Amino acid sequence: MRISRLFIPHPLNVGQQIGLQEHSAHYVRTVLRLKKENAITLFNGQGGEYLCTITEVSRKRVVINIKQAIDRSVESPLSITLGLGISRGDRMDWAVQKSVELGVNNITPLMTERCVVKFKENKQKQKLQHWKNIVQHATEQCNRTVLPIVHEIDALKNWVDRQNGLKVFLDPQAEQSLVELTPVDQHVTLLSGPEGGFSDQERDIAVAAGFISVRLGNRVLRTETVTLAALSAVQMLWGDFL
C-alpha cells in the first residue's frame, strides 16, 4: 500500500510530535482521509524523509509522531535551471508541474515582450504563490525529497546575465542540437519562451549573455511542449533517464 507524503516547511527530527497547521490538517483529515495509527511520510524539501504515525485526528487538530529518518534521494546528477516565459493559465501551470516531475531544480517565471499575460504587483505575488503551491504538490506526488525553488518573476534581460552552466536557448530557428553540446559542471540552464516566442531583440540579448540557440527537431513545438521535451532530452543525455 502506498504511503501518503506531506511537505512540512520546517526542521524535522525523530521523536518529534508535530501538530499540523490547519491547511495541512485539513488535507490529511479530509482529502487523504487518514486515521489514527495510519502511516504517513513527511519531508521538508532539504533531502531525505521521515516515516511517521498519526497519533490524533480530530476536527481541532492532527498530530503526527516522527518515527524514523530515511536517507533517500531520487535527484538527478544533472542540476537544471529553467527560465520560463510566462504563458496563459493552464499552459504555465502544466509546464511548472511537469518540470518538477522531470527533475528541474530552479524555476524563474520570465516576463518577455510577447507575453500575453500582464500582472499588477499584487497579482504577481498571488501567481507566484500559486506556482509555488504547484511545485510543492508535484514534489509530494513524484517522491522527490528536495523541493525545487521558484524564484521571483523577472525580466528576461535581467535574468540572462545571472545564469551559469551550459546555457541553452530553445529556438525553433536554431540549427544546432543538444547532442552537440556538453554541460558545464553538470549544470544546464534552459531558456524557454511564451506562446508568441521570443523577439529578435530578445534572441540577441540571450546570445550576448552566452546562451546557445538550440532546436528540438524539425517541428515547431508549443510552449508547454518544448519545455518538457527539452527537460526530457537533457535528462536522457546527461541526467538519470538512461
CA distance 40 to 63: 11
CA triplet 194, 161, 94: central angle to 5 degrees? 25
How confident is the model over 82-103, as a mean pLDDT?
93
The percent of residues above 90 in pLDDT, for the chain, comes to 80
What is the average per-residue pLDDT within 89-100?
93
Report if pTM > 0.85: yes
Q: What is the pLDDT at residue 196?
A: 79
Q: How confident is the model at residue 123 (pLDDT cuts 50, 70, 90)?
A: confident
Q: What tens digit of pLDDT does each residue of 3-14 get?
A: 999 999 999 999
pLDDT tens for each residue of 155-189 = 999 999 999 999 999 998 888 999 999 999 999 99
pLDDT at 237 over 80: yes
Distance CA 225, CA 138 (A): 18
**Domains of the chain from N-terminus onward:** 5-70 (2.40.240.20), 79-238 (3.40.1280.10)
Asked if residue 168 lies in contact with residue 210, where contact means CB atoms within 8 angstroms, the answer is no
Non-local CB neighbours of 93 within 8 Å, separated by 6+ positions: 130, 131, 134
Give which of 97, 107, 115 is closest to 193, Cα–Cα: 115
